[in-house]
Amino acid sequence: MGYLQIKGVSKTLGRIHTLDNISLSVNQYESVVILGPSGCGKSTLLNIVAGLISPDQGQILIDGEDWTGRTGRVSYMQQKDLLLPSRTILDNVAIPLILKGTPKKQARQIAQQHLTEFGLSDFSSYYPRQLSGGMRQRAALFRTYLFARDILLLDEPFAALDAITRRRMHLWLKDLQSRYRWSILFVTHDIEEALIMADRILVLSARPARILQEFAVPEQPDITTHQSIKKNILQLLEPEEDDTSVYRGNSSQL
């Protein structure tokens, strides 16, 4: 049994059958990447895990407890950083603590203690508009971490960054995971990103999304293994896409 379990989840949005009987698990301290075509329902699945919407069928279990349709248990970071432009970085990242009832002064003190670990110690008094995309995403991840800490849902968090910054963010996030021992459910449509970030990759079909296949990624894959996994994933996805360039590590889609 996984620490986070998604059991038989199906969802129809309006008239669109989006998710079809999705079951998967994320173990403690594991990084599982969901890979699939754009618009296949990946974000909808994360919204269900976060409790923002309820499935038509299925359950979300965390450490054996039913969290279906309930918020507040997991941290959720979306593609946009959603930082408030009128607040400093320190006040932005302290928001989750304040929402949980921590007095503002104490929340700022707690957040201040961790700024260095997230590479933000020199930017606490800056406003979001003064930071680069990569630094804004660091702040967004820090705020996400302070919300619940042990389980992170990441929805294409680096998609808007250039390729070099994205690579740095991948390595930085992996280092943080090794230190904080997070369980991560990471959504992308980029194979290269999936191979970097995953302990396991689950490939989804086009809508209605269902799991096509699972791939275990060795901790330090050699080039041959890396290319073999990538080839197998492409073979799964190519029949369902007219344009498969988004899966080939094209820099415009990384």
Task: Answer whether residue 28 is part of any domain.
Answer: yes
Look up residue 157 and give its two tokens.
């968090």
Answer whether residue 208 is part of any domain.
Answer: yes
Residue range(s) defining the domain that contains residue 26: 4-83+151-253
Give the bridge partners for 165, in sequence order.
none
Each residue's pLDDT expressed in tens, for the chain with a length of 254 residues: 469 999 999 999 999 999 999 999 999 999 999 999 888 999 999 999 999 999 999 999 999 999 999 998 999 998 788 899 999 999 999 998 998 889 999 999 999 988 888 889 899 999 999 999 889 988 998 888 888 778 999 999 888 888 888 888 898 899 888 888 899 999 998 999 999 999 999 999 999 999 999 999 998 878 899 899 999 999 998 754 444 444 444 433 33
The alpha-helical segments, DSSP class H, found in 35-84 are 42-49
Backbone phi, psi, residue 85, to 5°: -65, -25
Phi and psi at residue 15, to the nearest 5°: -105, 5
- The amino acid occupying position 165 is T
Structure tokens at 141: 């991840």
Q: What CATH number corresponds to the domain at position 51?
A: 3.40.50.300
Q: If we measure between CA atoms, which residue out of 158, 170, 180, 195 comes closest to residue 78?
A: 158
Task: Give a yes or no: residue 89 inside a domain.
Answer: no
Number of domains observed in the structure of the chain: 1
pLDDT of residue 2: 61
Please identify which residue in the block is written with the tokens 């992996």. Answer: 174
Number of helical (H) and strand (E) elements in the chain, helices listed first: 8, 10
Tokens in use for 74? 């997991």
The per-residue pLDDT for 13 is 94
pLDDT at 9: 98
- Tell me the per-residue pLDDT of 226-248, one tens digit each, with 9 for 90 and over: 899 999 999 998 754 444 444 44
